[in-house]
Structure 1
């Protein structure tokens, strides 16, 4: 651990707020009837004007829509507003109109503006508009590729005003000004769906924002940096170590790395996470970045923390985890400081990051050692893990390219993997796995450009499917748990037929409504919903289907049921060797959608996220999977949906690697 000298001037970033939260200190009051009517009318006008721009590119409309979307959420979820909030709402109306008028005149002045900008994109997850901030330096030349620094914000309680307060940090108007910084990089500030530690759709948001920025600016993909403070640092550990071939370096500043130890932080609002049911303990291996410490051997991590930071123990734990993997963690400690950014320490962090940026990302490393616990995170440069012996157990693969031979020096809990020949500096002729030597003929290495190796009956051999993943079993993109279905495009489907059991249908309807409310409030988008009779082949091909109801009410449940690891009749349902009366039990599960063929889409029964508003409204480290791949829920057979949902989880867990 290295100590950096303190400095008298500190840039203070409070753990639970962004800059801009100063408005919370001002007295907040309800809107008057006149104010409410005016805002509602202006919002309607903005939305109608945006609809009239339907022939413009979606990205252009998104840049204008971020203001009306922010105003809509503020009016829907907040009851009281400070003077600063009201000013931001009025400013959103002005700025929304300005961008709409510019687009209507076929102009887009913000596309060439330097300095701070607030932009937007349409998320593929739910077709919602999501805002992000960028800071373009004065010296940016579109003809020259430029470094991109992705900066993740700290924790903030999600409220209706969240978007408008976030946008206010970056929106300086669209006219050219002289406020642009003199830096050798563009900064991208994703919203991350506000508050989830960049998990689930929040994780997707970061990468979608990167792609949107890369379409607008000439980004050097070999020089993308990920950094952040507090929750942003936790997100940096999380995303950086699980996608170690994407970033040239990561810079976490004061961020947690696990669930259990972090939950024991002596703060009044913290909730201790004690021993959990076995399936929930396993699920933590998907999220806790400390389990992926070994991947810092691939992506350089330059960490910082204050000597008196209440979360100091988090970096101590990561130091030990890296030591166990044979690595030395760079941990710059600012003497005498708490949970703040010390400018001197931060400057040293940026200097060290710059050294890696100068070299650029090495896309053809000669040797790799990669660790994962799930096929959700399965790739590291030219290595891809395609099959595990057991999910949520540590999987390790280490490989070394020597001349014309690849030597697999370590292999643990992996049954199938691939080597992307096109990403290697030389074409290998041989592959060695322990005592097994496989010859790689020119046909193998030139026809597919990716060779797949699999273990059958304890013997390693080359797969004969030309690099394709198997059609059965857990595989990348189809590995669960239930919550993973909401990180990629999905569609909720309500049943319109005659239900087998009225109470089950009432529960399913209430569960869908609950999910819609939670998704809009906490994931900042309208939940995509269709009736089962309206689902198209395109929906099945491109989206995860989230089916609510039973085989009687939902025709799609009836269609997929024969291919699911579940028996379900009017009288009973069975998972594994357990049988339950069907009139007072509801199955919730995730599995590959048999209707989607090889398109790698999920089907989910009767569940949104398995964590609820109690966790979403509290602390982001509580957003871990509660049910795994499946659960059996006990309900009141007389339930009609007129009262709050009461569900008793009888059993929950994971399917095996063959979805059984």
Structure 2
């Protein structure tokens, strides 16, 4: 692959602008023929009434939590979002909304009659599932080939969609791509795999709950169809390609091959693409720069040695530099990037190039999973610490490069000195052969065969500079897989927001907490397509905190659960003062926001969060998905203004923010 020079860059930009102008001309002509307009009062009233009726008919069936119920509910849910957030609609939009009413009712009638014809249909099908994150119904599409017989396990291709402006009708437009009715089609595609098209909560580059959506959709498809889990492919175009790099290189053991087509791989350089309206991300505070290591897939380039990536891009694509960046990163790791270039193509799929991409993917998929004795894996966070038979359990420092390299030789597992790793586990059952010993750091550790009814997992930890077997449980007081932060990570798994019902110690804190919760509810509903789960503090049960992350809003006066957990958090908080991060602040006009392990009994693998939803805001959510990176890290101290008017778009006054160390404390090494 050749790096483009300045002349080629200018040529690509000119090509992009020409295509953009052509697109705008076409769009304007199309708009003249089909100009969006508000619904008439009669149309809106009729659609709202029908949606309400359908919800009332679905409600009695909702407790069944069946797949078929979700398949019917996606239509009324999509209609609700369109009516709530959009004002103007094209004639095609109106038809989609009216069709949603009909299709939802058709599936509801079929369920009541004990029929589910779409579950055995071939071709394109719109389906849904209920997310464990917030209990919302999320749609996805599948394409079932005519060769699928329901008995033979089949390959699954997960296809991630590109970027689109997040609007209310986004879900109905997505559903329309796959909803061909429920009767059998006469001409299903002839291909050796099922396609899964996740929605990913519309527009976030498959981050946070968008990432969870992909894996929840995979699990739902695997429950419905006979899927060969050793042959799952991940591919996509544009934002879908960025999502492929992101998910594929951080979960390299989940996929047999990757197929990114024109996708960005970093934040800073991508933001500098010369496109009108792009927001340039310049130098950031240290903690924000370090947090990018969790998201920028270029930092995980080494993991292309675990899962093969067959990339494609147009030779005149304005985003061509993204694949140059990944090519250079792989070269630094000793890898050669496969990058199929379509010479005279811009930011579109070239059918010829894609055909070659799919051919090469098929070669890897045909081989399937092979147990590997040699493994090299890189991560920057325990959130992405699993790969085949390896699970990294502890880091010396988060958001610094961690590397593990090992190989089997003559029944000995030889491990190079791990970089930035303090503890890890090996699932010996997944190795190609049972090792007699493990050699690491000049030390030979004999391996004993465990009884077959026990997990065949061995844990090795560094103690006083020496590696040794470790049978101690993971401590709740250190960062560990799934409980490592940052604040934004709490919203990628089941969570519950908790509203205080008491009297706040300070008026400013009480006002901010109420406004912050409302802002989060609005942003979550609009952009993450679900109702924010909320309870009053007096109604929260042990089952809640054992199964969900608790997001507590208020202060110890207003929220009784903050009082319960306060003694286990790394701060001192009284009515008069807040002592945190080595500083003392007046509690009258300062408030902490943070994430930490939940100390309540039975909440071992859950977070507790104080006074924060996602740390990026609507101004970011409404612009570009590459802006959805952590702003506060693990914690922040906020300066409050009792005279402030809390409208939807206010700016937080952050005095200080950063990350906790590996023991959930603040040390000199903690980035701030």
Provide, for residues 554-577 of structure 1, a one-character-per-residue CA deviation record: whole Å limited to 9, x for no partner.
000000000001111000111131
Q: Which residue of 1 aligns with 2:403?
A: 396
SS in structure 1 of the partner of residue 138 of structure 2: strand
Q: Which residue of 2 aligns with 1:312?
A: 320
Question: 1:54–1:643: structure 2 CA closer, same or farther, 3 Å change rule?
Answer: closer
Q: 2:379 aligns with which of 362, 369, 372?
A: 372
Shift in Å, 1:436: 1.5
Q: 2:335 aligns with which of 315, 319, 327?
A: 327
Counterpart check, 1:428 vs 2:409: no
Question: 1:14–1:288: structure 2 CA closer, same or farther, 3 Å change rule?
Answer: farther
Q: Which residue of 2 aligns with 1:48?
A: 56
Aligned partners of 1:481, 1:240: CA distance in 2, in Å? 21
Q: 1:634 aligns with which of 636, 639, 642?
A: 639
Counterpart check, 1:303 vs 2:311: yes
Q: Which residue of 2 aligns with 1:242?
A: 250
Question: 1:637–1:110: structure 2 CA closer, same or farther, 3 Å change rule?
Answer: same
Provide, for residues 279-334 of structure 1, a one-character-per-residue CA deviation record: whole Å limited to 9, x for no partner.
00000000000000000000000000000100000000100000000000000111
- Judge conservation of contact 2:616–2:628 (CA < 8 Å) in 1: yes
Question: 1:642–1:69: structure 2 CA closer, same or farther, 3 Å change rule?
Answer: closer
Q: Which residue of 1 aligns with 2:505?
A: 500
Question: 1:656–1:313: structure 2 CA closer, same or farther, 3 Å change rule?
Answer: same
Moved over 6 A (4+): 21-25
Aligned partners of 2:597, 2:644: CA distance in 1, in Å? 30
Question: 1:168–1:640: structure 2 CA closer, same or farther, 3 Å change rule?
Answer: closer
Question: 1:426–1:598: structure 2 CA closer, same or farther, 3 Å change rule?
Answer: farther
Q: 1:150 aligns with which of 135, 146, 158?
A: 158
Unaligned runs of 5+ in 2: 4-18, 666-672
SS in structure 2 of the partner of residue 595 of structure 1: coil
- Judge conservation of contact 1:427–1:445 (CA < 8 Å) in 2: no
- Judge conservation of contact 1:249–1:353 (CA < 8 Å) in 2: yes
- Judge conservation of contact 2:597–2:604 (CA < 8 Å) in 1: no
Provide, for residues 144-165 of structure 1, a one-character-per-residue CA deviation record: whole Å limited to 9, x for no partner.
0000000000000100000000
- Judge conservation of contact 1:588–1:607 (CA < 8 Å) in 2: yes
SS in structure 2 of the partner of residue 44 of structure 1: helix
Shift in Å, 1:58: 2.7
Counterpart check, 1:269 vs 2:303: no
Aligned partners of 2:560, 2:67: CA distance in 1, in Å? 36
Aligned partners of 2:220, 2:562: CA distance in 1, in Å? 36
Counterpart check, 1:474 vs 2:456: no
Shift in Å, 1:525: 0.3
Matched residue pairs, number?
644
Question: 1:646–1:255: structure 2 CA closer, same or farther, 3 Å change rule?
Answer: closer
Aligned partners of 1:211, 1:14: CA distance in 2, in Å? 38
SS in structure 1 of the partner of residue 37 of structure 2: coil
Q: Which residue of 1 aligns with 2:613?
A: 608
C-alpha RMSD over aligned residues: 1.9
Shift in Å, 1:445: 9.3
Counterpart check, 1:438 vs 2:445: yes
SS in structure 2 of the partner of residue 513 of structure 1: helix
SS in structure 2 of the partner of residue 53 of structure 1: helix
Q: Which residue of 2 aligns with 1:208?
A: 216
Shift in Å, 1:451: 0.6
Q: Which residue of 1 aligns with 2:237?
A: 229
SS in structure 2 of the partner of residue 61 of structure 1: helix
Aligned partners of 2:620, 2:319: CA distance in 1, in Å? 21
Shift in Å, 1:423: 1.1
Q: 1:164 aligns with which of 138, 163, 172?
A: 172
Q: 2:583 aligns with which of 575, 578, 585?
A: 578
Q: Which residue of 2 aligns with 1:9?
A: none
- Judge conservation of contact 1:78–1:161 (CA < 8 Å) in 2: yes
